Structure 1
Amino acid sequence: MARIGTLAEGVAAVVHDGDTVAFEGFTHLIPFAAGHEVIRQRIRNLTLVRMTPDVLYDQLIGAGCARKLVFSWGGNPGVGSLHRFRDAVQHDWPAPLELEEHSHAGMANRYVAAASGLPFAVLRGYRGTDLPAQTDNIKPITCPFTGEVLTAVPALQLDSAVIHAQRADSQGNVQLWGITGVQKEAVLAATRSLVTVEEIVDELEPVPGAVVLPSWAVGHVAAVPGGSHPSYAAGYSVRDNDFYQEWDEISRDRDEFTRWLEDLK
């Protein structure tokens, strides 16, 4: 059964130096508060995994938490580039950043393979692209039944996964809805997991289209109202568009970013 505790306790128990870790969320339910706690706890040498790394990963990279990024797209959505990401890639500041790039479909299928206990995923999605020439773990595979040449990618085995959700009950069963992305698959693909939630309730009321993660699948739960800000949590908050605009200016300059980082701590 999931353990219910504080954010600091959950991060310390779940995310360790050197981990391969996913902070998943798509458009909303992005676990910003948990990522900020990772920065405060000075966790280092992480392999950060995410389908769509945006501002949170820019912050983690700029804070020196990351050594590698496994991803399929990166940017400040609706605004432009991730400047701390660019600085790490182009100038090794604050540390060199290794890159492993995949397609969205490839990343999603890798999560599903790991969640299913399979060693790899097979798909057609890489054919006709130059990604196989750039990424070592994208390999051709021949179907034993039809002879068709497909693409294989290894399962995304995670040490830790962190997501945000709308609510959990006192037993640690988690409920999320809206644009759910691959949060469920990330948790099931991970050895350890932390779910921050808007609230803990006595009983989970049914919501159309909701995903429920049973307590046996979740390691730790922490109540963190507003834990996805500046992204949003459907039914609880709206997206803080101003912050995404402000981040473009904050992140462009190393000194300005360093001041933001000091304020965070």
Structure 2
Amino acid sequence: MSRRTKIYEGKAKILYEGPEPGTIIQYFKDDATAFNAEKKAILDGKGVLNNRISEYMMLRLGEIGIPTHFIRRLNMREQLCKRVEIVPLEVIVRNIAAGTMSKRLGVEEGEVLPRSIVEFCLKRDDLGDPLVAEEHITAFGWASADEIEEITNLTLRINDYLCGLFAGIGIKLVDFKIEFGRLAVDGGHQIVLADEISPDSCRLWDRETNKKLDKDRFRRDLGGVTEAYTEVATRLGIIKENGNNSNVVSIVKNED
């Protein structure tokens, strides 16, 4: 096996140099973290599930014209992606009050918001990823006004599509976090969706019972984290249950 050059290791993924110029390999780990990595665990199979779910989301979004960094899935834990300069912002979309919004604003968890709200947080673990305004972003040069407008427009399109996608399988998209990157194109750059979309980065509740099907099961010590992720993947049609044993699942390979 050839030795690869590690570019970066985060809490849930490792990035390696890709096989061709302008590419990277994104490896999904089984590590689970919460509260800025104060709480940690290894959850067998989580990385495999997130790889497959994120692949599915990137492919579907690409089909409706959302530009992404995704090229193709390489194996059960790795994706080949275009190399981008990450915009140092986490973009959060909130459709239903939950998590830090409920605590920060005193809004009851589960309350449907009057409209979808887009928030920006600075990607700085050492500062706790603080909430920032557009004035901060442009003043400190993290992104230009045009880039913020493009990111916001893409984010709302992504939200509209994902809300419908999840509603079709009986899931509420409460909120989610995404990241964007600058892809070098013809001497300039294009804003593209990067990172991942998975139950690690989304709050997903069952439409009928409000059962949590996301990382909150780890944050709140509810247990059954990989089982919840498996349920999401099953409803999406990415994996299927073996009829002889509901706990046994087999990966359905996409032959697109």
TM-score for both structures, normalised by structure 1: 0.28
More strand by share: 2
Choose between structure 1 and 2 for higher RCO, CA contacts under 8 A separated by at least 6 residues: 1
